[in-house]
Amino acid sequence: MRPTNDFQFIHTFESGKDDSQPTLLLLHGTGGDENDLLPIGKELWPGAAMLSPRGKVLENGLPRFFRRFAEGVFDIDDLKFRTEELAGFIDAAEKEYGIDRKHLIAVGYSNGANIAASLILQHPHYLAAAVLFRATMPFAPDLIRDYSHLSVFLGAGIHDPFAIRPQVEQLAGTLQTGGADVALFWHQGGHELGSDDVEAARNWLAEEKIRTRLAA
């Protein structure tokens, strides 16, 4: 399907193979667009529906999902505002495309993974699961919510200079404290997305316990 600019986001939507399939919410990294993660989404879950918005913030002409002051220094007010916009987009897409947030899986890379993490921290019941590549702790939440229905895969780079290990482990710990089922995979490189990341995430999504939770 060609991109549309409905719901305040330019985005693309591809229907799933059948109604039993989940929907993947694909959230690109800085400089990406609504097409970037479609091939990875199809690798992760063949037959799933794909909902992929383009970030609305421009940094030197490159699309992002929220502003930052410098590398690794987020504009938290803008992040929280843009997270609310993303939640509104999901609400609209739920009505327009008939998706079910109980079977909605966020798949994000870098900037997209960070806004997905922010969505979890602020609105955990908008997702059933998440695959977050190179996510960091987006902000310190005022309270830890109930994440017990969530399964989260964190793909981190052991030599990543941006999503550094303490921040990744803080995010994992926060989600686990709220009851989330968290898997943490360490890629032996940096911020780049590797084929091992995708394979590990695909295998994780295929696990019986994950499929059972998503089918509930």
Catalytic residue among 11, 28, 118, 160, which? 160
Active-site residue, selected from the candidate residues 110, 118, 151, 187? 110
Give DSSP secondary structure letters for 70-103: ETTEE-HHHHHHHHHHHHHHHHHHHHHH---GGG
Q: Is residue 11 annotated as part of the catalytic site, yes or no?
A: no
Pairing of strands 104-109, 129-133: parallel
List the beta strands (DSSP E) in the chain: 11-14, 23-27, 49-53, 57-59, 62-64, 68-70, 73-74, 104-109, 129-133, 151-157, 181-187
Pick the catalytic residue: 75, 123, 191, 196?
A: 191
CA atoms of 80 and 65, how far apart (whole Å): 11
- Active-site residue flag, 191: yes
First to last CA, the chain: 29
3-state secondary structure of 154: strand
| Coil, helix or strand at residue 183 | strand
Distance CA 45, CA 169 (A): 26
What does the alpha-carbon distance between residue 2 and residue 128 come to, in Å, rounded to a whole number? 27
Catalytic status, residue 78: no
As annotated, the active-site residues are 110, 160, 191
